[in-house]
Chains A and B, each alone.
Chain A
Amino acid sequence: GESVGLHLPTLSVQEGDNSIINCAYSNSASDYFIWYKQESGKGPQFIIDIRSNMDKRQGQRVTVLLNKTVKHLSLQIAATQPGDSAVYFCAEFLTGGGNKLTFGTGTQLKVEL
């Protein structure tokens, strides 16, 4: 399944399928990006990060892709599991911009059995 981030806040996928969560970030000068996972009633949990000098980074079952030309970030989750159900936020960081992360609108991922 695939979302378009801000325009489709809920993504439903079948267990075992791959998920793609999209994010359009705001500042073309941002040089560092993070994906967070937030489960209901909990704080955001770091998943993966990427610097702007990279276009792809892989973790365990997750891959982040960065397209600076169109200011687009995506999170790919392989073999989605019920435990992946959560809200996913992308966040951007600008060096020298005041030690702040700017969070995007979250996407709710629902994994159907």
Chain B
Amino acid sequence: DAMVIQNPRYQVTQFGKPVTLSCSQTLNHNVMYWYQQKSSQAPKLLFHYYDKDFNNEADTPDNFQSRRPNTSFCFLDIRSPGLGDAAMYLCATSRVRDRTLAKNIQYFGAGTRLSVL
């Protein structure tokens, strides 16, 4: 059974048209991440939520926003998608009980592949 669920699996949007990708988890993990992955590249972290605390990566464009209304759900909003935003978007979760604990297994969803026309 899928524990990190991303919807939809495939999303097509038009240039400049806002789009929202969703992620839900049944693991009750306190940390949720959003990554962007382009073809043949490693996942690139956009931001993460540690509980309700939002942590943005320094190089994440303002065009990308996120919301986490509760523990189970997290959304990725792309305000004005450009052609360069076409990619696989991955959601991941982890349980971090102690910020100093040296262990961080992240569990990934299947991803949403975004196409921008």
Bound CA span A95–B98, Å: 10
Q: Which of B31, B90, B101, B103 has the most CB of A within 10 A?
A: B103
Least Cβ distance of A106 to chain B in Å? Answer: 6
Encoded as 1 (CB less than 8 Å from any B CB) or 0, chain A from 43 to 69 comes to 111100101100000000000000000
Contact A44 B108 (CB under 8 A): yes
Whether A83 is near chain B, meaning CB under 8 Å from some CB there, is no
Q: Are A96 and B99 closer than 8 Å at their CB atoms?
A: yes
Residue numbers in A under 8 Å from B31 (CB-CB): 99
Q: Which residues of A contact B16 (CB under 8 A)?
A: none
Chain B residues with CB under 8 Å of A101's CB are 45, 104, 106
Complex-state Cα separation, A45 to B2, whole angstroms: 12
Binary interface profile of B, 102-117, with partner A (CB < 8 Å = 1, else 0)? Answer: 1111111111010000
Interface string of A6-39 (1 = CB under 8 A from B): 0001000000000000000000000110101000
**Interface magnitude class on chain B:** 20 to 34
B interface footprint on A89-104 (CB within 8 Å = 1, 0 otherwise): 1000101101111011
A106 contact set on B, CB distance < 8 A: 40-42
Contact of A93 among B6, B48, B90, B104 (CB under 8 A): B104
Question: What 0/1 pattern do residues 5 to 16 of B give for CB contact below 8 A with A?
Answer: 010000000000
Chain B nearest CB from A48 CB (Å) reads 10
Cβ–Cβ contact A99 & B99, under 8 A? yes
A76 at the interface (CB under 8 A from B): no
Residue interface mask B42-75, A partner, CB < 8 A = 1? 1101001010000100000000000000000000
CB-CB under 8 A from B48, the residues of chain A are 99-100
A: residues with CB less than 8 A from B are: 9, 31-32, 34, 36, 41-46, 49, 51-52, 89, 93, 95-96, 98-101, 103-106
A-B contacts, 12 listed (Cβ < 8 Å)? A32-B104, A41-B110, A41-B113, A43-B109, A44-B108, A46-B107, A89-B42, A93-B102, A95-B100, A101-B45, A104-B42, A105-B42
A52-B102, A93-B103, A99-B31 known, 20 other contacts, Cβ within 8 Å: A31-B102, A32-B102, A41-B110, A42-B110, A43-B90, A43-B92, A46-B105, A46-B107, A89-B42, A95-B100, A95-B101, A96-B100, A98-B55, A99-B48, A100-B45, A100-B48, A101-B45, A104-B42, A105-B41, A106-B41
